[in-house]
Amino acid sequence: MGSSPIVAPDGESGGGGGGSGGVGGGGSCCHVSMKCWCRWRCHHRLQRCLLSSGFVFSVACLALFGSLATLYARFAFAPGVRTTTGLSSFGRHDDNEGSWSVGVFFGDSPFSLKPIEAENVWNDESAAWPVANPVMTCASVSEAGFPSNFVADPFLYVQGDAFYLFYETKNSITMQGDIGVVKSTDGGATWQQLGIALDEEWHLSYPYVFEDLGQIYMMPESSKKGELRLYQAVKFPLQWRLKKVIMKKPLVDSFIIKYNNIYWLFGSDHSGFGTKKNGQLEIWYSSSILGPWKPHRKNPIYNTDKSFGARNGGRPFFYDGHLYRIGQDCGETYGRQVRVFRVEVLTKYEYKEVEVPLGLAEPTKGWNAWNGARYHQLDVQKLSNGKWIAVMDGDRVPSGNSVRRFILGCTSVAVAFLLVALLGLLLGAVKCIIPLNWCTNNSGKRSDAFLSWERSYLFSSKVRRFCSRLNRAGSYLRGRIRPNSCAGRLVLAIIFVVGVVAMCTGVKFIYGGSGAEEAYPLKGHYSEFTLLTMTYEARLWNLKLYVKHYSRCSSVREIVVVWNKGTPPRVSDFDSTVPIRIRIEEENSLNNRFKEDSLIKTRAVLELDDDIMMTCDDLERGFKLWRQHPDRIVGFYPRLSHGSQLKYRGEHFARRHKGYNMILTGAAFIDSKTAFQRYWSEEARQGREVVDKYFNCEDVLMNFLYANASSSRRVDYVRPTWTIDTSKLSGAAISRNTQVHFQKRTDCLMKFSKMYGSLAAHKWKFNDRKDGWDV
């Protein structure tokens, strides 16, 4: 892309050869008397180029595209800095191998496993009511002082009531895998970082920990070393010594198990000629874990498609007298899922296994789920109480996602650049694409090296001929499209819009992350909340859209629909990834929104009107803030009750006065126990009667009840990235007359102020928190 060729003064061509003193094409400035002339000519060319219409037009267009892309990022990306990992540069970085984390599961058998959140385990210290997967991430490892990009390959070692979990952690500094270990003494709900158990000069992973004859061993993958090494615990769990190099082969994901009084070693060797990566499995046997190891007669057992599950994916286990092997399916992407095989025959001469269903529910929230894209390692063990526990890793994005995003982003930006050039050609601002003086010419002196490269005049002339034809494309396109016509202007507008979209897409891919709207941990723990909305039959369209969108949010556990009027829908009418419960009310009252509900299993409830659409990330940010302050109303719509003449006003009034003292509970997190009990107390009876009288103001009443309970701060605001009022699309708005709606609320303010005291004494500023979410 460029402007027309620059013509040198005194008739000299910028690209062709001149006389003996010329500098064009292959001319040289070797003569001392010509140095000043060369410098002047180069400076003159640069100045002409910078002032050319093509250059100015291109810079202006790209600046405009960039400004629009920045504006798009301002509204499309979450405000403030995402602190999902809560790390500085010392911690996690975007890794092309993924963002693996570890979850805990429980069940009555290895084939009925459910995530830890189904156990409804609460932890007050981390405000996890209940604790939810994942229980360990690179954030928790990094915050303990061990910088990590991801954690994967978990293996459990159970010692009484203590659970030790060994895992691979990719060091953010050395970018190689080490073996870390954490400990849990509360049944797997919380894990204490103990440190790095094993760190070698090469990459380590798959820390298969097991016990034999009273000794604890670890056999991690050391394929980068080209060996399979066995370590013995010296001082469990942090001190280990090399016991023996079992095999001089680069085996991956290997395990040893004793079956029918013989030790069996399963592993994959991808180094052999013709071996199909992630589709190969070999077996060896021995009378001792120290060897010697003899190959199975059928080796390789598998050398097949990578989706088959040949590569090991965790610890084998016994159940109902059968041995089961866990393999990993690497078909769609590396580590897509685990598969379970029941071993039918295992002898020195034969091996046969059949696949059986694991029974583990597939993630349904897509990339918003911590294991939504893949899970490739499972360790399941039976506890002394007869219950089964399992640890599994998972990732929300496929392998190679960061590189893929970068390539797509750069491609989109390149398309935007090309469209700018096309616009310039059509408008006549860009005269040519490649100036001919950029092309080599055969006149003038050539160095020997350049002559050997150019070889002949034919090559140079072909390049110049091609460039000349390419430069004539602008005239041809202008003649065909006719930019001054109506159709031509439409084409120009389309090109401009596509260019802006391409630039915005590039920014999204490069700077917008994976697109997953993740949950935010607090003190290393994730949790869940119940989403509650109140509606009636005229707003069913809104409700279906609402359920489909919010059920995909990471921390939503259940959606409760308070049905106030009309024939209720069936649960099967909704497209939801979480359970839906329709609570049918006998009386059409706004007070039903805060009715006590013993079936709600989470402490946090998000009261969210069915006509409000916002991003899942907004909900997750609000949820994290509420977990930090569960005694407050944390929401997205601030209001200010101000002055002696009480009058209900919108958000603009609060922003003009730089503060707020109310949060509308049509979009707010509250405590399901405290808030509901407070609302249905005898103290609030008169207020509830006002709500029924006006059929309005239930959210205003809740703010007064919170403020009356304590003199400390009781509300917090989170600014949403964007919101859409879907009632305006369906024509089912409850409060269509804004003036009447505001007058009713003004009356409520005056009545509630007399009952419970004024809110005017309280006021909290915007942009008053360090997280930057209240701007």
The torsion angle over the Cα atoms of residues 518, 519, 523 and 524, rounded to 10 degrees, is -60
> Could you count the other beta carbons within 10 Å of the beta carbon of residue 7?
14
Residue that has been written with the tokens 């991956």 in this structure: 252
Nearest to 267 by CA among 301, 318, 290, 291: 301
End-to-end CA distance of the chain: 42
Catalytic residues: 699
Name the DSSP class of 764: B
The torsion angle over the Cα atoms of residues 678, 682, 683 and 689, rounded to 10 degrees, is 100
Helix (H, G, I), strand (E, B) or coil at 600: coil
Phi-psi sector, 409: left (phi>0), alpha (psi -120 to 50), beta: alpha
Buried b (16+ CB within 10 A) or exposed e, 54-79: bbebbeebbeebeebbeebeeeebbb
Helix (H, G, I), strand (E, B) or coil at 466: helix
Phi, psi of 144, deg, nearest 5: -85, 0
Under a CB-based contact definition with an 8 Å cutoff, are residues 64 and 603 in contact?
Answer: no
Name 107's bridge partners: 388
In Å, how far from its chain's centre is CA 545?
A: 23
Distance CA(483)–CA(479), nearest Å, equals 9
Under a CB-based contact definition with an 8 Å cutoff, are residues 636 and 667 in contact?
Answer: yes
Phi, psi of 292, deg, nearest 5: -70, 150
Which amino acid appears at position 559 of this protein? Answer: I
Nearest to 564 by CA among 597, 542, 537, 544: 537
Distance CA(553)–CA(560), nearest Å, equals 15
Distances (CA, A) of 41 to 25, 232, 436: 13, 75, 17
Which amino acid appears at position 596 of this protein? Answer: E
Token pair of 673, please? 């126990």
Q: CB neighbours of 43 closer than 8 A, spacing ≥ 6? A: none
Element (H, E) at 12: none
